[in-house]
Amino acid sequence: MNESVFGAGLDVLWLGIFSLVVVFLICALVSINRSALDGVTKLLWAVVSLIFPIAGPVTWFIYKGNNRAKLLSEA
């Protein structure tokens, strides 16, 4: 038998982390789709987010926040 020292607890932890990454990725893809960007730019952001499932969405939300702050300061 292949018993882990940590038992099922470590498996549950990894499942939780994986689930959070998937939810974060889905939220980023929905946000990208709802943005006012053109189709090609949306596609590029979506591809980057899918290739880099943690760094892509983080970068998107930083870019989106900076872009929103820029729009608010111009108004």
The pTM assigned to this predicted structure is 0.78
Q: Mind listing the pLDDT tens digit of every residue in the chain (75 residues)?
A: 556 666 778 888 999 999 999 999 999 999 999 998 999 999 999 999 999 999 999 999 998 887 776 666 765
**Domain assignment of residue 1, yes or no:** no
Q: Which residues of 14-36 are buried (b: 16+ CB within 10 A; e: fewer)?
A: eeeeeeeeeebbeebbeebeeee
Query: Per the structure, how many domains does the chain have?
Result: 1
**Domain assignment of residue 2, yes or no:** no
CB 22 within 8 A of CB 49: no
Count CB-CB contacts under 10 A for residue 41: 12
**Domain assignment of residue 21, yes or no:** yes
